[in-house]
Amino acid sequence: MGVRYNYFPIVLARMPEAAGKLCENGADMVAASARNHHPWQNQTGETEASIRSEQESDRLHQVALFGGASLFLEFGTVDMPPFPYIIPAADITRPKWIDMWLSLEAYLTGAGSTGGY
């Protein structure tokens, strides 16, 4: 006779915290990539400082643009074409973010280990 364990309550309890951490890490990765690769590296650092991730709720994090030339660079103006860097930053970091989610899924379902979840 074997012993059965119901791990579902444990997995369910850990999921919100782990998902929130992955959302935060994903937004931080996009913001860091955008800061490092935006097309107009200025001397004051105002544009770089205006790009950051913010937490909206437990599992909602977003990359925000708050000042400098950020919005004008991303979307352009009537006198300047756009120089997008937020969308390319998301494209660059998307594969790693997807791998992080797959790793979390494997960890929570017992199919493997992750590097820290």
pLDDT in tens, the chain (117 residues): 455 556 667 666 777 777 778 888 888 888 888 888 777 766 677 777 778 888 777 667 777 766 667 778 888 899 989 888 888 888 998 899 888 888 887 877 775 544 444
Domain ranges of the chain: 8-109
Q: How far is CA 116 from CA 18, 22, 23, 81, 93, in A?
A: 10, 11, 15, 43, 19
Q: What pLDDT shows up at residue 12? A: 67
85-98 exposure pattern, b = at least 16 Cβ within 10 A, e = fewer: bbebbbeebeeebe
Q: What pLDDT shows up at residue 114? A: 47
Q: What residue spans of 1-117 are helical by DSSP H? A: 8-37, 46-49, 70-75, 86-109
Q: What pLDDT shows up at residue 4? A: 59
In the 8-state DSSP scheme, what is residue 4?
Answer: -
